[in-house]
Amino acid sequence: MPIIVYENDTPSDDIADILALLTILRTLDIQGHVDLALDTLYDEFDTRLSTQDCAYCDALLARVNVEDFSPTLTLGFLTISVAARESLPARAAFYDRVAAHFATLFDGERCTRLLQGLG
């Protein structure tokens, strides 16, 4: 289960937390517990954004390898982060990675529908 790590200014304890969260989400996703994975993701984002910890959320999005997650969970990352997109610089690149990956999975019309309003 490869998880991509990018170098930036994220504190090392946040990186450890992010990698642990991604591992938990991936495990739940693989085991078919997508609802629990989405709940976990949404709870973490809600907690971080409510305390203005946009840096953590941004670093999380920068580290998601979209090919490691189901389309449903990948859409969850986009959905939970859409309202805060102006505060998440890495989100635009994340969206582009999702769009490119979805283009390999779905026909053009379905891909467009799935991503509608999430850019």
The verdict on residue 109 lying in a domain is yes
46 in any annotated domain: yes
Tell me the pLDDT tens digit for each residue of 9-46.
566 578 899 999 999 999 999 999 999 999 999 999 99
In a domain, 37, yes or no: yes
Domain count, the chain: 1
Residue 3 lies in a domain: no
Whether 64 is in a domain gets the answer: yes
Q: Is residue 4 part of a domain?
A: no
Assigned domain for 31 exists: yes
pLDDT 10s digits, 54-101: 999 999 999 999 999 999 999 999 999 999 999 999 999 999 999 999
Q: Which domain holds residue 82?
A: 12-115
SS3 sequence of the chain: CCCCCCCCCCCHHHHHHHHHHHHHHHHHHHCCCHHHHHHHHHHHHHHHHHCCCHHHHHHHHHHCCHHHCCHHHHHHHHHHHCCCHHHCCCHHHHHHHHHHHHHHHCCHHHHHHHHCCCC
Domain membership flag for residue 2 = no
